Amino acid sequence: MKLTDELIENNKRWAMSIKESRPDFFEKLSKQQAPKFLWIGCSDSRVPANEIVGLLPGELFVHRNVANIVVHTDFNCLSVLQYAVEQLNVEHVIVCGHYGCGGVKAVFSDDKHGLIDNWLQNIKDVYDRYQEKLNALSSEEQKVDLLCELNVVEQVSNVCRTTIVQDAWDRGQKLIVHGWIYGIRDGLIKDLNISVGGRQHLPPSYPPGV
Ligand code: CO
């Protein structure tokens, strides 16, 4: 049996178990999706969005990329954000980073990784901005973890500064942007308490408590 055949078998069992407990689940879901949350997270296989927040298909709109970065010229991410805010009317956008992120770690070494180094330059920019704070820490692990948090703060700020979110707030749409970080060592999410619900609440350049 091929490794991928196992996945198809898993899928059959999964679909059957859902159908057994909720016979109309897929039928209902096929007609519409009405998620209340947009998740912007890292592609890392250890951070499966729906699973770690206990949400079923249809309940979480998801965008993932390496190191959960929101860049104002990334039409992929912006299209997801626009659709989520303007068509699905999500009420919450959650930027969730994770400790020990490989994309963040890469910033601390001089190794070359090819194309992706251009993408990771966005994190290098965050590093440069907070260099003093980061250098005050002694271990590399602490530095990586703090930069993982600071990267979330920056990306929350980037989400808030998009025309999409600004326009939503101008229309009076209820929309809160959150910054969370997930611990791959304990499976727990920490709220960085930097939620923004309008222009007047734009995050400070440095989060409280870190
Ligand atoms: Co990561």
Which pLDDT tens digit goes with each residue over 103-146? Answer: 999 999 999 999 999 999 999 999 999 999 999 999 999 999 99
* DSSP codes, 17-33: HHHHH-TTHHHHHHH--
Whether the per-residue pLDDT at 99 is higher than 70: the answer is yes
Mean pLDDT of the chain: 94
- Give the integer Cα–Cα distance in Å for 82 and 28: 24
Whether the per-residue pLDDT at 45 is higher than 90: the answer is yes
- What residues act catalytically? 42, 44, 46, 98, 101
Model pLDDT for residues 140-172, shown as the tens digit of each residue: 999 999 999 999 999 999 999 999 999 999 999
Whether the per-residue pLDDT at 204 is higher than 70: the answer is no
Question: H/E element holding 176?
Answer: strand 176-182
What's residue 206's pLDDT?
44
- Give the integer Cα–Cα distance in Å for 98 and 113: 21
Identify the band that residue 209 occupies on the pLDDT scale cut at 50, 70 and 90: very low
The answer to whether the CB of 93 falls within 8 A of the CB of 120 is no
What's residue 210's pLDDT?
43
**Distance from the CA of 63 to the center of ligand 1, in angstroms?**
13
What's residue 200's pLDDT?
75
**Distance from the CA of 184 to the center of ligand 1, in angstroms?**
10
Q: Tokens for 185?
A: 């060592």
State the distance between the two ends of the chain, measured CA to CA, in whole angstroms. 49
Q: What is the mean pLDDT of residues 84-102?
A: 98
What's residue 199's pLDDT?
83
What's residue 203's pLDDT?
55
The answer to whether the CB of 102 falls within 8 A of the CB of 151 is no
What's residue 205's pLDDT?
52
Angle at 48 between CA 80 and CA 65, to 5 degrees: 40
Phi/psi-derived region of residue 193, left when phi > 0, alpha when psi is between -120 and 50, beta in every other case: left
**Distance from the CA of 68 to the center of ligand 1, in angstroms?**
7
Single-letter amino acid, residue 64? R
**Distance from the CA of 52 to the center of ligand 1, in angstroms?**
15
**Distance from the CA of 181 to the center of ligand 1, in angstroms?**
11
Identify the band that residue 208 occupies on the pLDDT scale cut at 50, 70 and 90: very low
Nearest to 165 by CA among 125, 117, 198, 206: 198
Percent over 70 (pLDDT), the chain: 96
**Distance from the CA of 25 to the center of ligand 1, in angstroms?**
32
What's residue 1's pLDDT?
76
- Give the CA distances from residue 167 to residues 86, 89, 162, 176, in Å, rounded to whole numbers and listed in that order: 10, 13, 8, 13
Percent over 90 (pLDDT), the chain: 93
Query: For residue 176, which phi and psi values (nearest 5 degrees)?
Result: -115, 135
